């Protein structure tokens, strides 16, 4: 079977590399399906706590959907996208494990939507972000419109969305959707540094925090969000990690998280 994705596991961290540099890491349906299966495995593996997704080479994180595939494949022969969306994550709303996008170059259209679906964006200073869909007669329907307009000031988001404006990594950091900008040679080390910082916390506490932050946005007030029920929080409160944290603090030692 053809594979367009490379994976590596190290110390609870899954690193996913889109490996189609000849196509600027654009994704055709088989690649989306492959990534969806990888994220299914990530979600279900208790030993995997964090994922990092990046692109192969130094030109592109991902140019989004593979338009060549669409142009060359008759509609009745096209493979449907997975229900989990582009790269298996843009429409995946039940994953409370953190995902870091290490953006090594161009993140255009669907590629930017993939990065926006992640929890953190670490960018090389050569990275470029844009949602140029209106310029080719389509719209950013895989979360780009809705996520960007919630992450940064609305007027700035509309400026990008309506014009297809290209934004540098530094501009993205100033707007607020990029967490850190580094030299290209430092990108993966920086992404791993963020992952290692997250790993210091209880994986169950991290998942509860992500679930509350995302699901809480559905409520109109902070009071209602705080009163809501969050399964990941209930899991945390009934876990060994919930006991281990205070115990380790009292004993002045590093906690030994088990994720259960």
Catalytic residue among 34, 113, 142, 211: 113
Q: What are phi and psi of 117, to 5 degrees?
A: -75, -10
Q: What are phi and psi of 163, to 5 degrees?
A: -110, -15
Q: How far apart are CA 58 and CA 224, in angstroms?
A: 45
How many CA atoms lie within 13 Å of 157's alpha carbon, on the beta-carbon side? 16
Catalytic residue among 34, 133, 142, 211: 133
Q: How far apart are CA 58 and CA 248, in angstroms?
A: 43
Return the closest-CA partner of residue 136 out of 67, 61, 62, 60: 67
Return the closest-CA partner of residue 128 out of 145, 101, 104: 104
Q: Tokens standing for 104?
A: 């090594």
Give, in order, the Cα–Cα distances in Å from 222 to each of 182, 215, 218, 219, 231. Answer: 35, 12, 10, 7, 18
Q: How far apart are CA 205 and CA 217, in angstroms?
A: 18
Give, in order, the Cα–Cα distances in Å from 256 to each of 58, 147, 241, 246, 253. Answer: 38, 35, 8, 11, 9
Q: Tokens standing for 219?
A: 């409520």
Active site residue 211: no
Return the closest-CA partner of residue 258 out of 210, 211, 202: 202
Active site residue 34: no
Active site residues: 113, 133
């Amino acid at each position: 079977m053809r594979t367009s994705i490379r994976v590596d596991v190290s110390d609870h961290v899954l690193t996913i590399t889109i490996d189609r540099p000849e196509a600027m890491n654009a994704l055709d349906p088989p690649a989306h399906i492959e990534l969806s299966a990888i994220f299914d495995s990530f979600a279900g593996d208790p030993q995997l706590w964090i994922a990092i997704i990046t692109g192969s080479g130094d030109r592109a994180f991902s140019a989004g959907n593979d338009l060549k595939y669409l142009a060359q494949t008759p509609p009745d022969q096209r493979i449907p996208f997975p229900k989990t969306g582009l790269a298996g994550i843009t429409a995946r709303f039940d994953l409370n494990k953190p995902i870091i996008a290490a953006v090594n170059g161009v993140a255009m259209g669907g590629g930017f939507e993939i990065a926006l679906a992640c929890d953190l964006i670490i960018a090389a200073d050569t990275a470029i972000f844009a949602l140029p869909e209106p310029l080719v007669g389509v719209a950013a329907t895989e979360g780009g419109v809705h996520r960007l307009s919630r992450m940064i000031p609305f007027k700035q988001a509309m400026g990008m969305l309506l014009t297809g404006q290209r934004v540098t990594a530094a501009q993205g950091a100033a707007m607020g959707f990029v967490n850190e900008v580094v030299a290209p040679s430092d990108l993966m080390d920086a992404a791993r540094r963020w992952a290692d910082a997250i790993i210091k916390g209880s994986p169950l506490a991290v998942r509860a925090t992500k679930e509350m932050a995302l699901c809480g946005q559905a409520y109109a007030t902070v009071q209602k969000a705080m009163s809501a029920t969050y399964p990941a929080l209930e899991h945390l409160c009934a876990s060994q990690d919930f006991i281990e944290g205070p115990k380790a603090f009292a004993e002045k030692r590093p906690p030994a998280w088990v994720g259960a």
